[in-house]
């Protein structure tokens, strides 16, 4: 495979082309942030302007305005440029923030109930269940 568009950077230097573009950043805790990349450093710490936190539940989403957002690079799981034309054509429906927060809480409670049943079933079959929820420290 030949790359003809110039050098490929695998360090934070690869972010140069993303400055002043609208990006989505997925964090380690699962949050999804959308904002305009204004600055970054050698550790991939990011500064996003006009940031919103987008919450998805099913085919609905809600946006919470967050403003200027500084993200520590080690918390970034994934980031990419948004295609605004494709974003508008997506089969998603925007709902009020209050509604999406209620739906998110209901989804989390249903997942917790399912996990509890699953853990109990595994325990009944002699398996030890690790209840660590995440790798945050």
pLDDT average per 10 residues of sequence, the chain (137 residues): 53 81 94 95 93 93 94 94 79 89 93 91 81 57
Which tens digits make up the pLDDT trace of 87-112? 777 788 889 999 999 999 999 999 99
The alpha carbon of residue 136 and the mean position of all alpha carbons in its chain are separated, in whole angstroms, by 15
Phi/psi at 95 (nearest 5 deg)? -125, 160
Q: What is the pTM of this model?
A: 0.74
**What pLDDT, on the 0 to 100 scale, is given for residue 101?**
92
**What pLDDT, on the 0 to 100 scale, is given for residue 8?**
56
**What pLDDT, on the 0 to 100 scale, is given for residue 87?**
74
Tokens of 59: 């085919």
Residue 21: CB atoms within 10 A of its CB come to: 12
**What pLDDT, on the 0 to 100 scale, is given for residue 1?**
46
**What pLDDT, on the 0 to 100 scale, is given for residue 111?**
92
Does domain 13-95 fall under CATH 3.40.50.300? My reply is no
């Amino acid at each position: 495979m030949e790359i003809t568009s110039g050098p490929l950077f695998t360090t934070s230097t690869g972010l140069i082309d993303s400055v002043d573009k609208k990006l989505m950043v997925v964090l380690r805790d699962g949050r999804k942030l959308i904002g305009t990349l204004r600055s970054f450093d050698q550790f991939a710490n990011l500064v996003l302007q006009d940031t919103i936190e987008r919450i998805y539940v099913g085919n609905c989403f809600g946006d919470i305005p967050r403003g200027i957002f500084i993200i520590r690079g080690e918390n970034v799981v994934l980031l990419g440029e948004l295609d605004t034309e494709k974003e508008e054509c997506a089969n998603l429906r925007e709902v009020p923030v209050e509604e999406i927060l209620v739906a998110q809480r209901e989804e989390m409670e249903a997942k917790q109930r399912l996990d509890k049943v699953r853990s109990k079933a595994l325990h009944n079959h002699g398996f030890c269940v690790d209840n660590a929820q995440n790798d945050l420290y």
